[in-house]
Amino acid sequence: MIDPSKYVAMDCEMVGLGRNGRDSGLARCSIVDYDGKVIYDKFIKPVGTITDYRTPVSGIRPSDMDTAVPYHIAREEILKILKGKIIVGHDLRSDFHVLKTDLSSYAIRDTSSCDLLIIKANLKTDRQASLKVLCQKLLGKRIQDSCRGHSSVEDASAAMELFKLVDNKWELQLTRGVRVEIVNRFERWDRY
């Protein structure tokens, strides 16, 4: 059995910085606990000039920056919460990149590449699965459909809900060093 107090789920929203908005800057971070309770949700003023709010995806608007926490303060708060936790999320590379933190220093459970979820959703792919598709197929809920953009709270909560569908099996797989055996490429996984 897993210890729920060890897990948090995180999602970040980014805005574009610099020329043509190509560089990503952290503009919102949300963290939820195992039960989906929000333990952190703040707008963050990135270092640099915002040149693209990426609102259709990020949900970030100029007015959100009026009361945003400075990046250096937010980063310290976030890393303090993450310390010693197992972090659940969906494609966490981007989140850790904007936090300027080495992903390999943390225990993560990335739902985008979890074979257990991909097989359970009956997806015929060996690539990363989208959070939206996994939620629709496995949770029967639609997310990321708002014309206002994504919500990092919604995405973090969704990643945790997905994790909870396979949490014990995933942790057992990791502790035993057992890899999911896929028969006929995504038809089923073997029991251990």
Q: What is the mean pLDDT of residues 21-48?
A: 97
The structure tokens 């606990």 sit at 33
Beta-strand relationship, 69-70 and 38-45: parallel
CA distances (Å), 156 to each of 88, 98, 131, 141, 169, in order? 8, 16, 10, 14, 21
- How does pLDDT run across 106-116, given as a tens digit for each residue? 999 999 988 89
4 within some domain: no
Supply the range of the domain harboring residue 140. Answer: 10-189
DSSP 8-state code for residue 136? I
Structural domain count of the chain: 1
Q: Where are the beta strands (DSSP E) in the chain?
A: 7-17, 23-33, 38-45, 50-52, 69-70, 86-89, 107-110, 182-183, 188-189
87 in Cβ contact with 108 (< 8 Å): yes
Residue 170 banded pLDDT, cuts 50, 70, 90:
very high
pTM reported for the whole predicted model: 0.87
2 within some domain: no
145 within some domain: yes
1 within some domain: no
CATH number at residue 183: 3.30.420.10
